Amino acid sequence: MRLSVVLLAPLLALGQAADPAYDPLTKAYEALRGKDYDAAIAFFLKGIAVAPARASIRKDLAYVYLKVGETEAARDQFGEAMRLDPADHHVAMEHAFLCFETKEQARARRIFDRVRRTGDEATRSTAEQAFQNIDRPLTEGIARWRKALDLAPGNFSAHFELATLAEQRDELELAAQHYLAAWRLLPERKSVLLDLGRVWKAMGKAEEAVSALLAASRGGEPRAAEAARELLPERYPFVYEFRRALNLDPANVELRRELAYLLLKMGKPAEAEQEFQTLTQMAPNDLLSAAQLGFLYLSRKETLKATPLLERVLKGDDEDLANRVRTALHLPPSLRPRPGTTAVRVSAEAKVLAERSYQAGFLKDALKYLQIAHESDPVDFSVMLKLGWTYNTLKDDKQAVRWFNLARRSPDPKIAAEAARAYSNLRPALARFRTTFWVFPFYSSRWSDMFSYAQVKTEIRIARLPFRPYVSTRFVGDSKRSTGGALPQYLSESAFIFAGGVATNYWKGLMAWGEAGWAVSYLGRRPQQDQAIPDFRGGVSYAKLFGKGIGAESPGTFFETTADGVFISRFDNDFLVYSQNRFGYTLPTVDTLGGFQSQVYWNANLTADAGRQYWANFVETGPGFRFRWSAMPDSLLLSVNVLRGAYTLNRFNPRRPNFFDFRAGCWYAFTH
């Protein structure tokens, strides 16, 4: 017996350790004992991720959600636990009570009904009472509304209320019957078609459900249309489904027009023409259908049929459509003011739907609603700005620039400023010619010298090639020129470098480049030295910012890294690597000091080369301070750094292996 225990103990320990949920659950229960409910929820969710079929985890998580007041989240977790373990009647009761609290009475009633018939002795009586508390008012309400219908069969409210109570009591046939009757009494209430489609879907009548939902999704109330689209299949409807929906809702203009255009795209102009004819008869104000039918007649040279239709469009209040007709008829365009009240209302509704779609991540839907809003109110600059950001998120910067360009003309200074910044950031990347200039002068106490680096570069964009040819002029110089002494060391190249090259587009902060040219020294250093020598350079560059950059709307931490690998032929074909890193904190903007913006940070820099020259191999670290004022150009920065450095290679080093350096300088750049 003792031997068995000794042999089984390691196996049990291994089994416990092999449980993938053991570690997150242990931490979850520890957090629960410490009443750290947020941490407990996070660890329970990790446990569910690695053991999704374990009902007990979901049950414990549901109770934690209840402790923090997340009733709907608790309801959903109890529901999953009930699905995984249908025999746990206590979990089913918890789920049912929470369904009742969150207005899901029909589901609560079904669960109580099941538990009162199949549960254990402890739960049957409670479930029976709860079931009766829900079912009795529903039964009485149905009877009451039936009596009301006996007295007034044409009462919309009576049919609708009866259908709603019947649906909650799972009398789906009765619910469908009265939803249909209510809708026929008030066809403009498309939301009733949504209810009817939902009930038919629950009854397993898939084709009837698609018909009702398709009719509800086209025209009518925007919220009902959006909800109906969520219940429809993800694919585009078939022609026969459009026809079944029109049999149910024959007066649905938007639905019939969409079918007509679908038939045109399918190469069935005769069938499409029949639908357009029906539209022009049943909806004389449907100018779009009138124009399309007129164009179909014109294509067959039936001018007599086309003329009255096109004249109807020209006399209508849709100036864009009228101008399209004028263009087709070779007439000069004419502009007329839009009716304001209706346009504003449509624009407001479309903006609300666009914002919801944008927040939910449905960018194409957001784009569609924004376009509707713009068509309804063409001078709403906030819509133009949102269109720019949506196209930018969809990686269509060509369209984004167009909308930003329009929005920056807004009379609202906030919208105009945001659009102008976005435009200036995107426009250079799309221009055929792009010129960039940067300059970085700074003082170094290590050398007691003032240095300056600068470059002006003009790039050419060729179609959609992933690289750009360019011409460039660089300047590298200093004021002191050399260290002096018996063996003076030149402190910079002291030259202008004229070159032509190729640079790739940026990909996640990374780019590669290469160039060839001439370095022309502006100093006559030695008689035997040429003033102009060939110069070949190339390499890779990476830059990335994480966190809050200087000038951000709110303060916060940041990490900034730049890395360059550069081949330079003039330095004996050497390859140098630079890595500069800063991590620190962006301070709040001080408006009382004229919009003073600043950052404090710590530097960690590394320089190395393939030729193992002592001057090109060192590390530096130390504090720094970067600042600017909001009135300055965005790319102008002033900086002060105090660094402690050490050479990593000291062979042939005439100086000490360690050094201090105080650096102060400014950076400025612009792109045109």
DSSP codes joined into one string, 5-44: HHHHHHHHHHHHHH-TTHHHHHHHHHHHHTT-HHHHHHHH
CA 386-391-396 angle, 5° bins: 160
Q: Which two three-digit tokens encode residue 275?
A: 């639908």
pTM above 0.85, yes or no: no
Query: Do the Cβ atoms of 654 and 614 come closer than 8 Å?
Result: no
- Residue 592: what pLDDT? 87
Of 536, 434, 524, 520, nearest to 476 by C-alpha is 520
Structural domain includes residue 278: yes
The pLDDT score that the predictor gives to residue 481 is 67
Give the residue ranges of DSSP H helices in 340-412.
Answer: 340-360, 363-376, 381-393, 397-407
How confident is the model at residue 333, as a pLDDT?
Answer: 53
Tokens representing 386 are 């949102």
| The pLDDT of residue 670 is above 60 | yes
CB 416 within 8 A of CB 645: no
Containing domain of residue 278, as a range? 253-336
620 and 476 fall within a common domain: yes
Torsion of CA 276, 278, 281, 287, to 10 degrees: -30
- Give the Cα separation of 551 and 483 in Å (integer): 39
Same domain, 424 and 481: no
Judge whether 177 lies within some domain: no
Same domain, 598 and 532: yes
Exposed, middle or buried: residue 309 (CB in 10 Å: 0-12, 13-18, 19+)?
buried
The dihedrals phi and psi of 197, each to the nearest 5 degrees, come to -60, -40
Report CA torsion sign: 67, 72, 74, 75. Answer: positive
Domain boundary residue, one of 381, 414, 430: 430
Q: What span, in angstroms and rounded, lies between the C-alpha atoms of 603 and 622?
A: 5
- pLDDT reading at 122 higher than 70: yes
Q: Where are the alpha helices (DSSP H) in 34-153?
A: 37-50, 55-67, 71-84, 89-101, 105-118, 121-151
- Does residue 626 carry a pLDDT above 90? yes
Q: What is the pLDDT of residue 528?
A: 45
- Above 50 in pLDDT, residue 213? yes
The residue-averaged pLDDT of 171-186 equals 88
- pLDDT of residue 100 exceeding 70, the answer is yes
Instruction: Please indicate, yes or no, whether residues 510 and 646 belong to a single structural domain of this protein.
Output: yes
Is 377 among the domain residues?
yes
Residue 606: band (very low, low, confident or very high) from pLDDT cuts 50, 70, 90: very high
Per-residue pLDDT at 12 exceeds 50: no
Query: C-alpha angle with apex 115: 109 to 118, nearest 5 degrees?
Result: 140
Domain shared by 285 and 329, yes or no: yes
Q: CA distances (Å), 332 to each of 91, 307, 329, in order?
A: 73, 17, 9
The radius of gyration of the chain's CA atoms, rounded to the nearest angstrom, is 37
pLDDT of residue 264: 85
Asked, for residue 150, whether it belongs to a domain, the answer is no
The percent of residues in the chain predicted with pLDDT above 90, rounded, is 20
Q: Which two tokens stand for residue 552?
A: 């951000």
User: Is 285 domain-assigned?
Assistant: yes
Around Cβ 633, how many Cβ atoms within 10 Å?
A: 10
Residues 505 and 596 reside in one and the same domain: yes
pLDDT of residue 628: 93
In a domain, 215, yes or no: no
DSSP designation for 528: T
Q: Are 156 and 185 in contact (CB under 8 A)?
A: yes
User: Is residue 156 included in any domain, yes or no?
Assistant: no
Instruction: Examine the pLDDT at 512 and tell me if it is beyond 70.
Output: yes
CA-to-CA separations, 615 to 384, 448, 494, 645, in angstroms, rounded: 54, 17, 17, 12
What's residue 18's pLDDT? 67
DSSP, collapsed to helix, strand or coil, labels residue 466 as: coil
Give 616's DSSP letter.
Answer: G
Q: Which residues contact 396 (CB under 8 A, 6 or more apart)?
A: none
Statement to judge: residues 281 and 377 lie in one domain: no
Across the chain, what does the average pLDDT equal? 84
| Averaged pLDDT for residues 34-50 | 88
Distance CA 487, CA 465 (A): 49
Q: How far apart are CA 609 and CA 30, in angstroms?
A: 52
CA–CA dist 478, 671 (Å, integer)? 25
Q: Tell whether 655 is covered by a domain.
A: yes
Same domain for 412 and 268: no
> Over the stretch 268-317, which tens digit does the pLDDT of each residue have?
888 888 888 888 888 888 888 888 888 888 777 787 888 888 888 888 77
pLDDT score, position 9: 45
pLDDT of residue 474: 92
- Of 139, 192, 204, residue with least CA distance to 165: 139
Q: What is the pLDDT of residues 630-645, one digit of tens each?
A: 888 878 999 999 999 9
Output the pLDDT for position 336: 44
Last residue of a domain, one of 277, 306, 336: 336
At residue 204, does pLDDT exceed 50? yes
Give the CB-side neighbour count of residue 462, counting CA atoms within 13 A: 9
The reply to whether 293 and 275 lie within a common domain is yes
Q: Which two tokens stand for residue 527?
A: 């008689």
- Quick one: 367 and 426 in the same domain? yes
| 571/659 same-domain check | yes
* Mean per-residue pLDDT, 539-548: 92
Confidence of residue 330 (pLDDT cuts 50, 70, 90): low
Count CA atoms closer than 13 A to 594's CA, side-chain side. Answer: 5
Give the CATH number for residue 414.
Answer: 1.25.40.10
- 647-665: per-residue pLDDT in tens? 999 888 878 899 999 999 9
Which tens digits make up the pLDDT trace of 289-298? Answer: 888 888 888 7
Beta-carbon contacts of residue 10 (< 8 Å; ≥ 6 apart): none
What SS3 class is residue 563?
strand
Three-state DSSP at 218 gives coil
- Looking at the structure of the chain, the number of domains it has is 3
Tell me the CB-side half-sphere exposure of residue 249, using CA atoms within 13 A. Answer: 32
Of the three residues 318, 336, 354, the one that is the final residue of a domain is 336
Banded pLDDT at 319 (limits 50, 70, 90): confident
- Residue 527 pLDDT level (bands cut at 50, 70, 90): very low
CB under 8 Å to 106, separation ≥6 — which residues? 167, 168, 169, 170
If asked whether residues 474 and 580 sit together in one domain, one would say: yes
